[in-house]
Structure 1
């Protein structure tokens, strides 16, 4: 059993989960844990929680329960019915799960879902294919809930207006009722009154247009009566001439059907009124007249007040705008004053630094140049001495068997024997002194170049500050010149920033170059260490070889 556990094949990233077949028997299936699947699963749960399905937060529930519950919840929110049990059971068989997912998938085409999915993909937790469906369902449910909320809001507002009234609405309704009463009185006062009465109908037949004209004449309407057989004219002047002409014979013919009795009857009706009714009519007339005069005065006053309020509001807005611009100008002026003070301080400090640098340059230029010249001459002399010393050593050593043998051995290793001379301590000290002098000379050259660059940048900074100071004094007279000065100042600052970035990039390049050279130095040191070890071994082998040769000679 132990050997079986040791030599069992290891399957990475695979979990054996317990599943049930259609008969209810347990089977083990492989479910691959993919990083993309896990990412999509977490995105699905986050979307469901953001949409309002907080069961996706419960850690004790299975992923299948959360996915199925979220899909059914979204479908119910979209007003679609799903034929599933109210109580969900976690211990479902694979057949029951597929049947449940088939019911869910059958609803998706009814909802016009643009994404396709199979029941076995939901049952197998294929989160990559489930994600677009869940995303679309959540979006659809959110839109449906927003529409439902808008409808409920409109319904609630309508119910509120039906059952409750605000004081403002009550006042407006009372005012409208009073106005309607006055309008009704005016309409009754100026209602059309019959002046003529139509005679008894004779046997002659009349067309509809003639009847209409006779009816209008009964109420005193003697407007422009056009003939029934008039022609359409596209000329406006001809149309006005035709409409202005009244057929007197036609009007007399129409009046022959009327009798002048209504005016007398109306007058008799008015005369039949009692004195009290007449007084009431006159009193009502006077009251209406007073009300109209008061209303007209109030309307004129209200119009004047509204005009004054509008003027006041516009003036207040202008005043606020002017005050805001004034505050901004004061802030800009304060900032400019602070910048001017800072620039003056920088100018004073820069002038002091420039004077100090000029003084140092005057003091050190001659000494530094003399030192550099002396070091260069000394370096050349040391190089010449080194060359002469090498020639002298070569002449003193001369050719020999040992030298030829060692040279052959060195060449077998691919190393030039000239690179490893037998150096004396004096020669080594001279070489160290030459290298130190060379390093010091290089340092002086670098320092001189750095000081020269610093002087150049300080001179440019001083010139820039002087130009800013001169232009600042000239820009205090007008706003346009001040704005132009600010633009120039911003462009200068941008240029300085760009130059700073270039210098920083150059510094980074130099640092990278230094790091690369350090790596090369470490590699060369490692090679030198290995070469020294090889040389030591070679010397030991040469010594051993010499000893063996001596023993061989003694034996022979």
Structure 2
């Protein structure tokens, strides 16, 4: 802050210097070469002041201003005689002064104003830009100084006593402002020192507490390294559970307190309403009695409704047990499919039985044939040894051939019977297929008629309604 104050101070001094440079006396008129030469020193001084836009002497306005300020500011003792020695007839002095000014101004020419105003604008802009970095107090000080300098630049020249008084007042004002600023800075410095001391004290306490915690933490770590890990984990879990239970207990207590307060408030409200409505107790009793009566009626109606609902449920179950037309059709399809599967399985099984019986018969006949051939082969040499045995062998062979022919005839007859039975069964099957087609056709026509009947019934209901 001190560095910042010094920087601002330097900028303020520079700004004031620039202001003095800007508002320094500037030459506005210049005596012509062919003008009359001035002889006395007072005329030369007066002409020089007129060249810079100043007047030598006092005007009426200046005198009045000075008198008004004399009432407020005390005049120094050294300047009291100069003030008393002023002439009393100000009108005559003013007329003589105006005549002298006109005489001197006839021999002067105006200077080029563009250059002076350009310099003034340039320097004023630099002064204003330097003011932007100042605080409000410094800007006010510079403004006061600028107003004083601009007052000095007026065409009317003020007296030495008034200039002195103004400078003294300006300096006193600056002293007061600087003193006030110094007091504020000292107060701020005192506050900052107190805060710094308090912060240092707090820092020392925090450091000591941190060292203490570090020592305790190191001791706990040594104890933890020596202890059993399973016990430590169980202890940590128990500690966490304890903390959780404590927090839950606090929350539950807070909730219970809130609920108790709410219930107490409700009780108080009900008591207040009861006290207010004490006169209406008898109507309340009548209303309660009516409420009980209506409640009993409602209970009886509910029981009756439950009984009716049970009856309706029983009837609904009985109705559901009766299959509808769609369900019957579905059942029929499923039964037909099941019959087809059973029929196919039965047919396949029957074929297996027939094949087995055929193969078994074939096996029996082959065994008989093999036995016959074996017996012929065994007895052939003995039968060929004599003529009697040969004849007997031939007769036996003829008998065997006759038996085979008879068996063949029987099998042919059995075959014809089976064929006839097959044809008969096939005819019966065709008749059954025809009946089945007729049945399906009849069922289809019946369904169509039922559908037409339902349509007609619906139309009749619509027309009757």
TM-score (norm 1): 0.25
Query: Which is helix-richer, 1 or 2?
Result: 2
Q: Which has the higher contact order (CA 8 A, sep 6+)?
A: 2
Higher CA-based Rg:
2
